[in-house]
């Protein structure tokens, strides 16, 4: 096994797959990265048994072969190598020779025979989506998935493909942790399947990083009953799906609201972040009051102080509202909305709040209220 590569190319590949390498597994072999020299380049792989990833990098291969290298070792070395061409040579005793200029690393490798192969998705349903749009859909939903292991189905994002009653989109992604819900839809040409799957948030966060590092194009998504695969340029990621029944999210979305407030997205985000300085000292509670064409953000904490932010807004419907939210759940949504203005819809004091872009994106965000002494039924 022998090839010559550019340090930057190998470092990019190693750092990408290293993110999914497991260091806590009872199976030590998956703490390694598989490097394969092929005729047309070098393939770098990692597999933690829940998720696997392959990256192809350019290299001048003079002798094919494969070897396992501990992930921390190869990552640490490659990140410190000088710029330029590096020679990678494997001798018969499994010793890897990394040479550059007049210097050399000698590293002990492992035979790849027992390394688990990345599964290929069989009986797949496939769809192709614009990479930037799909990245946007992930960003606007994955943050709302639960990180608690108590309800494992909420650790993922529900992806629905196909037409549905009351929907203008044919691809939808939905996430909830029980306290908030994010739903993003998109019209995608060429989708001729009807399916749904719960994709682990961890897998979506990894493919999001790969998509954002790319330069447009399309991502191909393949689905089977228990796995999902993403193919984008030289990267391939496969993950197990979460099995179970996702909650009926349509029951959470309010059918009607009393007060519709149009407000500048950036203004509300900045005001909420300022109020969060105080709210963070008191369970992150922020109170929203609507009166006389203004929206007030209020927060107070014993022994710390209080804050009152006043924002001029446009109001339709009932011009008086009073509700309390977790300010973090509010700012999380405002950070991912890409439009200049949003519509904040409120009902009774203990009814969910609804946030959506004023124009453009098919995005809906629901946040559950908090009961306080001032906000009663």
Residue ranges in the chain modelled with pLDDT below 70: 373-377
> What pLDDT is attached to residue 373?
66
Please give the C-alpha separations between residue 139 and each of 20, 64, 168, 195, 205, in angstroms, as whole numbers. 19, 39, 20, 21, 8
SS3 category, 354: strand
Please give the C-alpha separations between residue 133 and each of 26, 140, 199, 321, 356, in angstroms, as whole numbers. 38, 11, 17, 35, 18
Domain boundaries, the chain: 2-108, 125-250, 255-367
> What pLDDT is attached to residue 122?
82
> What pLDDT is attached to residue 374?
57
> What pLDDT is attached to residue 26?
80
* CA-CA-CA-CA dihedral for 268, 272, 273, 278, to nearest 10: 160
What architecture (CATH level 2) is domain 125-250? Answer: Roll (3.10)
Q: Strand 171-176 and strand 103-108: pairing?
A: unpaired
CATH assignment of 255-367?
3.10.150.10
pLDDT tens for 154-192 read 999 999 999 988 888 999 999 999 999 999 999 999 888
Topology alike, domains 2-108 and 255-367: yes
Please give the C-alpha separations between residue 44 and each of 48, 86, 91, 117, in angstroms, as whole numbers. 14, 16, 19, 12
What architecture (CATH level 2) is domain 2-108? Answer: Roll (3.10)
Task: Give kind and range of the element (H or E) at residue 273.
Answer: helix 265-279
Q: Strand 103-108 and strand 314-317: pairing?
A: unpaired
The closest of 78, 79, 104, 109 to 93, measured between CA atoms, is 109
pTM: 0.93
């Amino acid at each position: 096994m022998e090839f010559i590569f550019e340090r930057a190319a190998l470092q990019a590949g190693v750092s990408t797959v290293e993110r999914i390498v497991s260091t806590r597994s009872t199976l030590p072999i998956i703490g390694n990265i598989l490097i394969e020299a092929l005729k047309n380049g070098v393939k770098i792989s990692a597999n933690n048994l829940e998720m696997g990833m392959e990256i192809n990098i350019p290299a001048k291969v003079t002798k094919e072969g494969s070897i396992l290298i501990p992930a921390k070792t190869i990552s640490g070395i490659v990140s410190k190598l000088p710029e330029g061409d590096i020679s990678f040579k494997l001798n018969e005793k499994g010793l890897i020779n990394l040479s550059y200029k007049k210097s050399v690393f000698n590293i002990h490798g492992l035979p790849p025979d027992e390394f688990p192969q990345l599964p290929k998705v069989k009986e797949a349903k496939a769809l192709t989506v614009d990479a930037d749009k799909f990245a946007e859909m992930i960003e606007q939903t994955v943050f709302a998935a639960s990180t608690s292991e108590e309800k494992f189905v909420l650790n993922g994002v529900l992806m629905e493909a196909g037409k549905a009653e009351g929907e203008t989109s044919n691809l939808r992604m939905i996430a909830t942790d029980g306290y908030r819900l994010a739903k993003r839809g998109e019209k995608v040409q060429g989708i001729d399947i009807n399916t749904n799957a719960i994709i682990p948030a961890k897998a979506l966060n990894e493919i999001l990083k790969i998509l954002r590092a790319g330069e447009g194009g399309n991502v191909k998504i393949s689905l089977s009953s228990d796995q999902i695969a993403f193919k984008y340029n030289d990267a391939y990621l496969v993950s197990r799906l979460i099995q179970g029944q996702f909650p009926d999210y349509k029951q959470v979305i309010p059918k009607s609201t009393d007060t519709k407030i149009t407000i500048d997205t950036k203004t509300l985000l900045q005001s909420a972040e300022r109020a969060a300085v105080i709210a963070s000292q008191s369970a992150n509670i922020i109170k929203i009051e609507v009166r006389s064409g203004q929206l007030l953000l209020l927060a107070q904490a014993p022994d710390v102080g209080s804050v009152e932010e006043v924002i001029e807004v446009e109001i339709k419907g009932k011009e008086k509202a009073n509700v309390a939210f977790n300010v973090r759940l509010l700012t999380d949504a405002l950070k991912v909305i890409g439009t200049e203005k949003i519509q904040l819809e409120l009902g009774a004091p203990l009814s969910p709040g609804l946030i959506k872009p004023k124009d453009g994106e098919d995005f809906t965000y629901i946040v559950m209220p908090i009961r306080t002494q001032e906000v009663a039924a």
